[in-house]
Every structure is written in structure tokens, then in C-alpha cells.
Amino acid sequence: MLQQVLREFEHAREPLNLRDLAHKLGVERSALEGMIDYWIRKGRLKDDSAQTVCSSCGSGSACGSEPQGCPFVGKMPRTISLVTPDEAPVSR
């Protein structure tokens, strides 16, 4: 089951919808979420919505300088992606 989830990520040709993936695998959505969380803990998948989107807005300053955040950053849908071995570190 767990391996099948990873395989679906590896073989996906386009973005998937969490609900559709649960249907495809024939599992409850909550069970799929549990499996995804497991792979996130193992470092094989990552939850991109956990990444910080800089809160600066209009000031050009660094992240976190405006505690209330930028009003233009709406609720981003949660996305989960495969951790690839060739992921290049982001240089600043």
C-alpha cells in the first residue's frame, strides 16, 4: 500500500488531486493522508504548504518582518510532492 502511494507519485504525468488518488488506490482519503504523512516523516515526500512564503509585501524586506503577513497572499492549496535525489539547494 505504502509503496503504491510512492509509485503513483513517481509515475504521475500531471498534478493529482488527493481525492482522486484515494479513489484510484481504493482507500479511504483519511487512510491515504496517513500514508502520505508517514512518507513525509520518512523524508520521501514533502508538504510544500509547510514552506514559508515570505510575509513581506511592499517593503522589500526579509521574511517575517511583517508579523501579520502580506494581505495579498491568499490561502494556498496544500501540495505534496516527491523528494527527488537531484533536488538542488536553493542559493541566495
Partner 1 sequence: MSTTHMSVPTSPSSIRYDHALEAEITRLSTAITQVSELRSMYRPRWLAIQLLEGDEQLLAEVQSLPAAEAVLRTLDASSAHLRELFGEDVDVLLTDQRYSFVNSLARDVLTHPAERRRTLSEKIDRVVTNRVLSIPIFLALMWIVFKVTTDVVSPFVDWIDGVITGPFTNWVVALVGVVGLSGTWFESLLVDGVIAGVGGVLVFVPVLMSLYLALAILEDSGYMARAAFVMDRLMHTLGLHGKSFLPMIVGFGCTVPAIYATRTLDNEKDRILTGLLVPFMSCSARLPVYILLAAIFFPEHAGLVIFGLYLLGIVTAVLLGFLLKHTLFKSQTHVPFIMELPPYRVPTLKAIWKQMWERTASFVQKAWTVIMVASVVLWFLMAIPLRGSGTFANTELDNSAFAMVSRSIAPVFAPLGFGNWEATGSLVTGFVAKEVIISTTAQIYAMDAAAVETEAATFAGELAAIATSFVDATVETLKAIPLIIGINLFPEEAEAEPSSLMIAMRDNFAASSGGHGALAALAFMVFVLLYTPCMVATAAARHEFGNKWMWVSIVGQLVLAWVAALVVFQGGLLLGLG
Which residues are near partner 1 by CB under 8 A? 1-3, 9-19, 21, 26-28, 31, 34-36, 38, 42, 48-49, 51-60, 62-63, 70-82, 84, 86-92
Taken in order 15, 17, 18, 21, is the CA torsion positive or negative?
negative
Cβ nearer to partner 1, comparing 67 with 90 = 90
Q: What is the smallest separation between the CB atom of 67 and partner 1, expressed in angstroms?
A: 14
In terms of CB distance, is 67 or 92 closer to partner 1? 92
DSSP state of 64: T
The sign of the dihedral angle between the CA atoms of 3, 13, 49, 31 is negative
- What does the alpha-carbon distance between residue 41 and residue 25 come to, in Å, rounded to a whole number? 21
Q: Which is nearer to partner 1, 52 or 67 (CB)?
A: 52
